[in-house]
């Protein structure tokens, strides 16, 4: 049996999967948590990777490995390869002012025209301006900027402070999917827009070289605990690109991922430039494009609801299914951490239309789920406005395990909803990229899918939500 490994360095944790190359079946796995903060020392991500590898039994019997990771989040590196300062995560809202400044300076449409991105506070370019503004000393020391997956891949190859030669920044590599989320890469030319980097940061910096979908990044370096030297290292990708690869998206498929963030994406042969300002044109892991819309608030809303009610997630789902559609008028607008889509970084969650009659545990549980899902359904409408059709909705992410989430979603959309078999699709996609370093192509691993029962449409849920967001001045 030939084994490969996929690594997912996500917002909340690092996960490692070891799989059979021939079938994709998981042989073993490991996981380690990341800090809960939104500004993090990157060394914590490297430590978590090594711990997750150890918990997965090491990689001594593995032939190839590849890394996927949270998009956008920068790692600022000095001339000797050292980390200059902690990194602001993609979901850190401190860069909102910098995003608005960049839009004001060049015009929002110019960013969309050149990069396919309606700039958000999550994009790497906004984090560059943030560092320049809040920590100019660190900005002056910065010689190169990578994102998380780029930096971890570089470390796996033996570069950085604990590996081989420490200053070889020219060995930084990335892929199209990660480059496309920076705010300084063109989906039309496939090249960096270096003038946008200098405009945002005030200086030129070295950027990772962009490799093609089937290129090999190199091999693992010497002296890494649990990871032998000489293992093939794949190019890797951003987390959503890896999941899309693992799911084998067909034309007309749209994914709704309910994790830390809510993400909706589909596949496109051509780049999308959405001047309405909602759809971000990211690249996928195959050479095509992955138009995507994202929210900051998703599965953690359910965490908060369960904590407040003092119940488990299963009990939250049971309670929600006891309430009628619309929760008797109780409506939650779940902008607990501010929001990215729509652009409301200072907003907070609001519970609307509560009365002595409807303020019950079941109604509250249902309002949490309805509010969370309605924020995601709006993203489907944004894709449709760009002539990106959805024939089938694929539901993934931690919150997809909730029976109430599944039932409510089918009441809110008019397309079939399918649920893939349980798997870690980001690590699976990364493992598929590892396979490509050995075979020259992606494997055709099968994906089990179950169609959810169709349900009668419940338009009152959306009508209540629109009334609530309108009353708050959010529309």
Q: Give phi and psi for 384, each to the nearest 5.
A: -60, -35
Q: Rounded CA gap, 98 and 41, in Å?
A: 21
Radius of gyration of the chain (CA): 22
Cα torsion 359, 363, 365, 368 to 10°: value is -90
Q: Which string of DSSP letters, residue by residue, matches 337-354?
A: TBBTTTTBTT---EEES-
Q: Which of 123, 239, 284, 423 is catalytic?
A: 239
User: Tokens 């891949």 — which residue?
Assistant: 153
Please give the DSSP secondary-structure letter assigned to residue 325.
Answer: T
Chain-centroid distance of CA 431 in Å reads: 17
239 is catalytic: yes
Q: Rounded CA gap, 108 and 30, in Å?
A: 42
Handedness of CA 62, 68, 73, 74 (dihedral sign): positive
Chain-centroid distance of CA 115 in Å reads: 18
Bridge partner residues of 263 (DSSP):
257, 294
Contact 41, 86 (CB under 8 A): yes
Please give the DSSP secondary-structure letter assigned to residue 316.
Answer: H
Residues designated as active site: 239
């Amino acid at each position: 049996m030939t084994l490969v490994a996929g690594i997912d360095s996500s917002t909340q944790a690092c996960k490692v999967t070891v799989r059979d190359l021939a079938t994709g079946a998981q042989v073993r796995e490991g996981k380690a948590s990341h800090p809960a903060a939104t500004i993090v020392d990157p060394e914590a991500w490297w430590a978590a990777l090594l711990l997750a590898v150890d918990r997965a039994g090491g990689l001594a019997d593995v032939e190839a490995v590849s890394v996927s990771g949270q998009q956008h989040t920068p790692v600022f590196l000095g001339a000797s390869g050292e980390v200059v300062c902690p990194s602001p995560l993609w979901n850190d809202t401190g860069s909102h002012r910098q995003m608005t400044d960049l839009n004001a300076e060049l015009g929002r449409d110019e960013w969309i025209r050149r990069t396919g991105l309606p700039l958000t506070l999550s994009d790497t370019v906004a984090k560059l301006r943030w560092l320049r503004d809040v920590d100019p000393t660190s900005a002056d020391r910065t010689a190169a900027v990578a994102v998380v997956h780029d930096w971890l891949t570089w470390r796996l190859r033996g570069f950085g402070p604990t590996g081989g030669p420490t200053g070889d920044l020219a060995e930084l590599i990335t892929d199209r999917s990660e480059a496309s989320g920076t705010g300084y890469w063109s989906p039309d030319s496939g090249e960096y827009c270096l003038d946008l980097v200098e405009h945002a940061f005030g200086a030129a910096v070295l950027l990772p070289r962009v490799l093609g979908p089937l290129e090999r990044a190199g091999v693992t370096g010497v002296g890494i605990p649990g990871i032998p030297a000489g293992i093939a290292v794949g190019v890797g990708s951003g987390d959503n690109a890896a999941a899309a690869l693992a799911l084998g998206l067909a034309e007309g498929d749209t994914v709704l991922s309910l994790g830390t963030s809510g993400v909706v994406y589909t596949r496109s042969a051509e780049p999308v430039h959405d001047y309405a300002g909602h759809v971000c044109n990211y690249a996928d892991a195959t050479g095509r494009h992955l138009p995507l819309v994202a929210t900051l608030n998703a599965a953690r809303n359910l965490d908060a609801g369960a904590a407040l009610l003092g119940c488990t997630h299963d009990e939250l789902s049971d309670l929600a299914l006891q309430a009628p559609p619309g929760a008797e008028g109780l409506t939650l607008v779940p902008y607990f951490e501010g929001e990215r889509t729509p652009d409301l970084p200072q907003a907070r969650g609001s519970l609307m239309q509560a009365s002595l009659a409807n303020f019950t545990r079941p109604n509250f549980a249902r309002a949490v789920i309805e509010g969370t899902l309605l924020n995601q359904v709006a993203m489907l409408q944004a894709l449709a406005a760009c002539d990106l059709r959805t024939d089938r909705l694929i539901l993934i992410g931690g919150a997809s395990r909730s029976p109430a989430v599944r039932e409510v979603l089918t009441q809110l959309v008019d397309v079939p909803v399918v649920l893939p078999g349980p798997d870690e699709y980001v690590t699976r996609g990364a493992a598929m990229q590892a396979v490509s370093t050995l075979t020259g192509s992606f494997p055709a691993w099968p994906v089990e899918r179950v169609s959810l029962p169709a349900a009668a449409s419940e338009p009152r849920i959306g009508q209540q939500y629109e009334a609530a967001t309108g009353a708050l001045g959010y529309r």
